[in-house]
Amino acid sequence: MILESNGSQSDDRVSIVRTERGLTISGTRITLYDIMDYAIAQYPPQFIQGLFNLTDEQITVALAYIQTNRAEVEAEYQTVVKACAELQAYYEERNRDLIDRLAKKPPKPGMEAAWQKLQAQKAKHQAQRNSRLRSSSYFF
């Protein structure tokens, strides 16, 4: 595992590089923060690997880097999570009127069952997200 600050790679080995996006798996646009979302939620490495279409070496290097540099990576991850939450709050506030108008619209005729199913999935997803954010300092 080589961390190169300029994001360039000297050979074909997989490494973790710091880019403008943050800590990134070399040769990809996948950040360690992307990986951490799933690691914190306790998804198995094989699932994460398949989700991001990573090689065995890429997922191994990413998880090893996270484990070895846990304090640094977690601190950066918390900063990223906070920034994302702030952006989400900003855009929700900015679009509150539109969101309220759309939420009040009844489902199209014949779509009532699908609408109820969607609302149940949204509630489940939000509960899982809230739970994950509360326990984000515990992974692996």
Q: Measured between alpha carbons, how far is 88 from 78 in angstroms, rounded to an integer?
A: 15
Specify the pLDDT at position 68: 95
- Please say whether the beta carbons of 35 and 21 come within 8 A: no
Specify the pLDDT at position 107: 83
Given a cut of 70, the residues of the chain with pLDDT beneath it are 1-11, 133, 135-140
pTM for this one?
0.62
Specify the pLDDT at position 75: 93
Q: What are the structure tokens assigned to 6, written together?
A: 């300029």
Report the share of the chain in percent with pLDDT over 90.
59
Q: What range defines the domain where residue 60 resides?
A: 1-140
Q: What are the structure tokens assigned to 11, written together?
A: 């050979």
Total domain count, the chain: 1
